[in-house]
Structure 1
Amino acid sequence: MVESTAPFDQIRGLRGLWALATRLDSPGEARPVPIRTLLDMLGLGLEQTMSMLGRERPDWPTFLAWIEATVGAPDPARLARYTAWYDGAEPPAEERARQAAVMAVPPVFDADDLARWDRDGVVVLREAITRDEAAAIADHLWSILAADPGDPSTWYGPRTNGIMIQHFQHPAMEVPRRSERMAKGFAELYGHADLIVSTDRLSFNPPIGSGFTFPGPHLHWDGNLTPPIAFETQAILYLTDTAADQGALQVVPGFHHRLADGWIASLNGADPRTVDLSAEAVTVPAGAGDLVIWRHEIPHGASANRSDRPRLAQYVNHYPMHWPDQRRWL
């Protein structure tokens, strides 16, 4: 058994998460565990945490020691905010001041951007981070892959998660997560700054050919389609200039309007996730450091890379803290 002195024992929901994933104890709470919000507060990736818990089934002290070794002690301000939210209390004064500061930042979207958002459910935040900051993340990704940007023969090493690269912590990756411009962009779309930033992974989508076939993900939804569908966003940060044929994000623009107009009911019980919408998909090119944001009701996915350069990206999102959706999954 590994002893841990990390200040994690009293974090709301953490022991419940450990108990649920390892089955080594009773969760001890009647309410569901807000897994994603909890892990994003701690700076842990969902996939890395659930994989560790499922694979190793650590005892409680070992799990706490792993968290400390992976991300260090929790940020006091983030923890205080999460605890207040979990307990149904008012946000701490420091958090209220942070939100007010975000709202006071000048707008980052113009009228055309917002009109496009309303129409298509997709918008590009230009220069969410600088090109140099994006290049630093790209360099880190190349290092993870042990690949050479100038040697295509090194781009196709063995991977177990398709184009997803399951790495979550690095100083360069923290830059967009702490970007004031990015925080303001999401606050404009939500109408408030009471949002938490995600701790998500990287992506590497090389050109098809040389024995490599695009593995997806193809068009899909990540959330529950049972009405009413709460408004939420998803987003991808391009780390290099990304052309339309370079494995760029693809979406079916404006689909949130069709969902609101009863598209699912029109299927007469058919599974909406089996409907082929690929003929309506468009790709979204953008530059290095640009962030593509879309409503999560929009069917989306990666696209086959038909260029001669890989697509490099990091997933970064801001969203309201919330409890798991326990309704029937559709």
Structure 2
Amino acid sequence: MAGNALHGIAGIEDYWERRTMRSRRPAPSAMADRILLDLLGLGIEQALQHLGQTRPDFDAFAAWVVATAGPPDPEKIARYNAWVAGDPVPEATAREFAAIDAMAPVLDADDLAQWDRLGYVVLRRAIEPDEAAAAEALLWRLLDARPDDPSGWYGPRTNGIMIQHFQDPVLEVARRSKRIYKAFAQLHGTGDLWASTDRMGFNPPEHAGYRFPGPHLHWDMSLASPRPLSTGGILYLTDTDANQGALQVVPGFHHRLDGWLAEIGDADPRTVDLSAEAVPIPARAGDLVIWRHELPHGASPNTATRPRMVQYVNRYSPEEIEQRVWL
């Protein structure tokens, strides 16, 4: 039976029941659901859309998981089950953490000082240029477009600049990169991090018939205290100038967020325009920009002649405090 492919994963049937509306039980935790999908190699929107729209039986769900993302990694299953049970991590996972801890730093003292001061850092040459070029080529194929024909850059899309593609060997390069893993471990202070299964992005230049659709400056977390350390990451697949739709952030906002919230009083913080303070972050192909989630951030209008092409890459701690109040 296809369901055997997911046998032994804690809570997997409960997740399937909840997301196909067969059960109204609340989730044990948002973090458990998040890790479960990354264990399976599925994007959040991808899984929710499939389960909500098709409402498959469990065997059909398992078959779809394997067809989409391959069989789950037994070591990841063991790690996840240990976390759910509150047990120590398995030996293989402990060895991986130790190896990351023993690696030479990939972010130097200046990088870490910038991280503390501004709330973002650029990991140079996070992946090799040929690896970035392979991901760029994948994105052109997905778009059925060519870099030398701008007329094909503006086809109809339902997710704006987001390209809902999650599974491909070239995307796994960054997700499995030890250099990238080490950077996140330095920032989080631990190697106990899960890699996210995220999508790609394509931000073409503006012209008379096309205007940047967003996302504009926003937060991906609740602004209520306490706020755990949470990060975002964007990997440039081509050289990206400041005016080429680059990621923009409000630098250092993590230092003044609480005071700013007090200043605006009852105003909805998500409707306050902070664009005058935003700074675009240019970088080279294969560079990874990592930012703290307290920073307002977003893509920017592309006023150059080349598109911005990216892969979203992140790692997170399973011990992040869950924010139950949304602000």
TM-score, scaled relative to structure 1: 0.95
Alpha-carbon shift at residue 210 of structure 1 (Å): 4.7
Alpha-carbon shift at residue 59 of structure 1 (Å): 1.8
Partner of 1:144: 142
Q: How many residues are treated as equivalent by the alignment?
A: 326
Partner of 1:271: 268
Alpha-carbon shift at residue 42 of structure 1 (Å): 1.3
Contact 2:228–2:320 (CA<8 Å) still a contact in 1? no
**d(CA) in 2 for partners of 1:138 and 1:45?**
20
String of CA shifts for 1:269-307, please: whole Å, max 9, x gaps.
221111110000000000000000000111000000000
1:314 aligns with 2:311: yes
Partner of 2:62: 64
Partner of 1:222: 220
Gaps of 5+ in 2: none
Partner of 2:295: 298
Letter in 2 for 1:148: R
Alpha-carbon shift at residue 39 of structure 1 (Å): 0.5
Change (3 A) 1:210 1:146: farther
**d(CA) in 2 for partners of 1:114 and 1:308?**
33
Change (3 A) 1:157 1:25: same
SS at match of 1:7: helix
Change (3 A) 1:227 1:323: closer
SS at match of 2:47: helix
Change (3 A) 1:26 1:59: farther
Change (3 A) 1:185 1:79: same
**d(CA) in 2 for partners of 1:227 and 1:194?**
23
Change (3 A) 1:322 1:6: farther
Letter in 2 for 1:197: A
Aligned residue runs from structure 1 range 43-82, under 5 A: 43-82=41-80
Contact 1:248–1:303 (CA<8 Å) still a contact in 2? yes
Partner of 1:327: 324
Contact 1:24–1:59 (CA<8 Å) still a contact in 2? no
SS at match of 1:262: helix
Aligned residue runs from structure 1 range 1-330, under 5 A: 3-27=1-25, 31-32=28-29, 34-259=32-257, 261-322=258-319, 325=322, 327-330=324-327
Change (3 A) 1:101 1:115: same
**d(CA) in 2 for partners of 1:299 and 1:5?**
42
Contact 2:222–2:323 (CA<8 Å) still a contact in 1? no
**d(CA) in 1 for partners of 2:243 and 2:59?**
48
Contact 2:249–2:280 (CA<8 Å) still a contact in 1? yes
- The Cα RMSD (Å) is 1.5
Comparing 106-115 with 261-270, greater Cα deviation is found at 261-270
Comparing 129-138 with 261-270, greater Cα deviation is found at 261-270
String of CA shifts for 1:196-220, please: whole Å, max 9, x gaps.
1010000000000151110000000
Alpha-carbon shift at residue 265 of structure 1 (Å): 2.3
Gaps of 5+ in 1: none
